[in-house]
Chain A
Amino acid sequence: MPTLETNRAIDAVWRIESARLIAGLTRMVHDVGLAEELAQDALVAALEQWPESGVPENPGAWLMAIAKRRAIDMFRRRETLDRKVTEIGRDLETQELPTAEPDFDAIHSNIADDLLRLVFISCHPVLSTEARAALTLRLLGGLTTEEIARAFLTPEPTIAQRIVRAKKTLAQKKIPFEVPGAAELGERLASVLEVVYLIFNEGYSATGGEDWMRPALCEDAMRLGRILAELVPKEPEAHGLIALMEIQASRARARTAPDGTPVLLLDQDRARWDQLLIRRGLAALERAAALGEPMGPYVLQAEIAACHARARTPEETDWPRIAALYARLVQLVPSPVVELNRAVALSMAFGPAAGLEIVDELTGIPSMKNYHLLPSVRGDLLAKLGRRDEARAEFERAASLTRNSRERALLLKRAAE
């Protein structure tokens, strides 16, 4: 088999097998960094041998066997070294191998359990959000450092360092390789969901014409989200997250005009919405609902997105439901931006005065001072109420706050109406 083809096949096998491999190894050697090194050693062996021998029938098992052998060698050498150290009677700075005996012969642990442990450790709150994202994409997404760097528009050495430091932190703080207990689970899961959604948003906000690795982050995130939903099927927020991502992603083809300008949701050509993704998103929401728990933030956001997805035309949008969902969301996430969205939904459902009431309450909030969408929305509602002079002032204010020239032009146009 020609080498280039084999290398591509090996890449593919890596993408399929690496997360499980690293997860299983972490359980055995109690150290994520070491597990990844061992997995990488196995990959090197594959790159050396498979061009000759071909890709084995069970590549995962092959890689695991090699990795285990390396680990055993490593620990034997370390035992020998320990003995020598004791003999010499000197303290040596040995490589940071974990003290506990590796568990090679343990009864085959459930792969799902190991993967889940790997998810939780990669997204541990002791790490910064960026570190969690990089580590997750590396260990669970199978992305190379270079791919991660390109995706986040960050220099490769920065990402490499970030990952190294993250692994060191996990080792130093002795973060256990375990699924959090019931008391912590909600919070820890929220941390995981946050990382996955962050990755999705990074891809979602990428512009066309940029490195294709960036929009591909959406697919990486959705894949992670789907895996997560199967690992914790009893957690409604996991289903909420994948539902939200799939429904948002369903609009990908409608979000940009041919000249590259963004198209707002209400102006989008709905025939271009991906019905397969919508169907999947709605199915995920059903799974969440079937669990019978009160709606969490991701389920709520997904339900809002679903309201739009179900409407065949903008006129058919169930605005009262959207407004009610935002009302519940703001109780969980007291953000003025959420309130602003609620105001818009209220105005669509019950008329501009209803929305204006909320918006007026938001104008005093310091964090909203330079947020151009606030005067933009206020201007829109005032215009609908026939208060033209006030509307104009708001549109001009919004125009002065936005740094986007297209938006400014649009706002100034509305001011002149």
Chain B
Amino acid sequence: MRFMVMIKSDERTEGGVMPTEEELTAMGRYNEELVKAGVLLAGEGLHPSSKGARITFTDGKPTVIDGPFAEAKELIAGFWLIDVKSKEEAIEWMKRIPCTDGVETNVEIRQVFEAEDFGDAYTPELREQEAHLRLATKQD
């Protein structure tokens, strides 16, 4: 199961304040743990909303509004995409995000839509034939 985990913005991230070296090291180590555990698919930090834009569609007509946007708490400062067995596992991993003392950090976890099943309609006959020819690169 895939989850997108969003770390919310705050005044510091919206203000373009760079993380301290300590914070970068801690986050780097954390990301490394995710990689070593085989659960990290992707992860990035985002520039402050001052560099971004919004588009509102009314009756199909787009209206573009440039950032910055108010309500830092509603904005996203970064995200991870993780592949885990359950929402509980996603939560356990994300409880370990390194945080700075005195700073309130908000994280949101959302499940990614996926195809219901993973396999195709390989019949038992097809499967049997493929079984003893394991090394043939799958032509499907």
Q: Which residues of chain A (160-206) have a CB below 8 Å from chain B? A: 197-198, 201, 203-206
- The answer to whether B35 has its CB under 8 Å from any CB of chain A is yes
**Cβ-defined contact, A9 with B91, below 8 A:** yes
- Mostly, the B contact residues are loop
A136-B114 Cα distance, complex, nearest whole Å: 27
Q: Taking A12-B85, A264-B139 as contacts, is the C-beta distance between A205 and B91 under 8 angstroms? A: no
Contact A208 B116 (CB under 8 A): yes
Which residues on B sit within 8 Å (CB–CB) of A16? 37, 89, 92-93
Instruction: Mark contacts of A254-283 with chain B using CB atoms, 8 A cut-off: 1 yes-contact digit, 0 otherwise.
Output: 011000111111000000000010001000
Known contacts: A207-B121, A223-B39. The answer to whether A372 contacts B129 by CB under 8 A is: yes
Complexed CA–CA distance, A340 and B135 (Å): 12
Are A223 and B83 interface neighbours, CB within 8 A?
yes
Name the residue of chain A whose CB is nearest to the CB of B38.
A226
- Nearest CB of B to A130, in Å: 13
For B37, B39, B42, B121, the residue with the greatest tally of chain A CB atoms inside 10 Å of its CB is: B121
Interface check A15, CB cutoff 8 A? yes
* Closest chain B residue, CB of each to CB of A404: B125
B14 to chain A, nearest CB (A): 28
Which residues of A lie under 8 Å from residue B115 when comparing CB positions? 252-253
Q: Is A333 an interface residue (CB 8 A)?
A: yes
Interface contact B118-A227, CB-CB below 8 Å? no
A90 in contact (CB, < 8 A) = no
Within 8 A of A (CB), among B67-115: 81, 83-86, 88-89, 91-93, 115
Q: Do A210 and B88 form a contact, CB below 8 Å, given A201-B134, A276-B42?
A: no
A215-B36 Cα distance, complex, nearest whole Å: 23
Shortest Cβ distance from A119 into chain B, in angstroms?
12
Of the listed stretches A297-305, A351-359, A382-390, chain B binds A297-305
- Give the shortest distance, in Å, between B42 (CB) and chain A (any CB): 6
**B119 at interface, CB cutoff 8 A:** yes
Assess the B140–A333 pair: CB atoms within 8 A: no
Q: Is the CB of A404 within 8 A of B123?
A: yes
Known: A227-B38, A404-B125. Is A335-B117 also a contact (CB below 8 A)? no
List of A residues within 8 angstroms of B38 by Cβ:
222-227, 230
- A216 — which chain B residues lie within 8 A by C-beta? 85, 118
- Write the nearest CB–CB distance from A236 to chain B, whole angstroms: 18
CA of A178 to CA of B91 in the docked complex: distance in angstroms?
34
User: What would 27 A/B residue contacts be, using CB atoms closer than 8 Å?
Assistant: A11-B89, A15-B84, A16-B92, A16-B93, A55-B92, A204-B119, A204-B138, A205-B119, A206-B118, A209-B117, A210-B119, A215-B119, A219-B83, A223-B37, A230-B38, A255-B120, A256-B117, A256-B120, A261-B121, A262-B122, A262-B140, A297-B135, A341-B139, A373-B129, A402-B125, A403-B125, A407-B126
On B, residues with C-beta under 8 Å from A are 35-39, 41-42, 81, 83-86, 88-89, 91-93, 115-123, 125-127, 129-130, 133-140
